Amino acid sequence: MTTLALLQEDFQAFMLRGAPDIESQVVGTARVPVATRLAIYGEGYGSRLIEVLESNYPALARLLGPEDFAALGLAYVRAHDSHFRSVRYYGNELADFLAAEPQYAEVPVLSELARWEWAMTEAFDAADAVPIDPGAFASVPPEHWSGLRFELHPSVRRLALYWNVPQIWKALTGGGEERVPPAVERQPTVWMLWRQDLQTYFRSLQAAEATALDIVRGGGSFGGICAALVAHFGEEETPLRAAGYLRGWTEAGLISSLR
């Protein structure tokens, strides 16, 4: 390994782990000793990553407040290196971190709020695709409907949440001072998120629509959707209900192709 490569390795080890090997290769002065010079970089690196976390999780940052969020950010930075070319994606494991760390796990609304904010980020940053025209269904022969499959827009995300984090998020990011108190349900509510143009949308799903969406996400057919919805609506009503879901998803730009 070259001298430059060794120097870079030692510097990286200091930045990530506080390893002291780089100290012998840094020149200090009486006014600015080695420890001070290294601290400028070491502390700056961690501070920048905490700023990134605050940018990616604005509602969580506001809920916790500056001091507590800074403590959370420091703990996360110490446990998770940045492996991305863009810091935009740093913090992808924060929800799992909150769910696993004892001091945060006892407040599960924090983990769910982080999951929600990351899903919002993923939906906004997802690849683009041209939604199908609602008239595309008119060209499908009746005998082909049972085997018809659908590609969802890449931005579509699905979350099951016990806490009212979408409402909390909206209150915290809406610019007002009024906050929504956390509330938990015995059964989770399924939420769907997606991007249309440059706007991210979300809404809750009833059990039947959530079932239909899960079948589509798993590559299932229209016939599979109908078979699963019979338990909800009965044989006579099911095809119309399933077609209604497809129509609504298409009008919202959620379906990008038919197969």
Domain ranges in the chain are 1-90, 128-259
- Characterize the bridge pairing of strands 157-163 and 150-152: unpaired
Q: In 3D, which of 123, 92, 127, 97 has the Cα closest to residue 110?
A: 97
pLDDT in tens, the chain (259 residues): 667 666 566 556 665 666 666 656 666 666 656 566 655 555 567 788 899 999 999 999 999 999 999 999 999 998 888 777 777 889 999 999 999 999 999 999 999 999 999 999 999 999 999 999 988 998 899 999 999 999 999 999 999 999 999 999 999 998 666 789 999 999 999 999 999 988 999 999 999 999 999 999 999 999 999 999 999 999 999 999 999 999 999 999 999 999 8
Cα–chain center distance at 47: 22
| Radius of gyration over every alpha carbon of the chain, rounded to an integer in angstroms | 24
- 128-259 is classed in which CATH architecture? Alpha-Beta Complex (3.90)
Q: Which pTM does this prediction carry?
A: 0.85
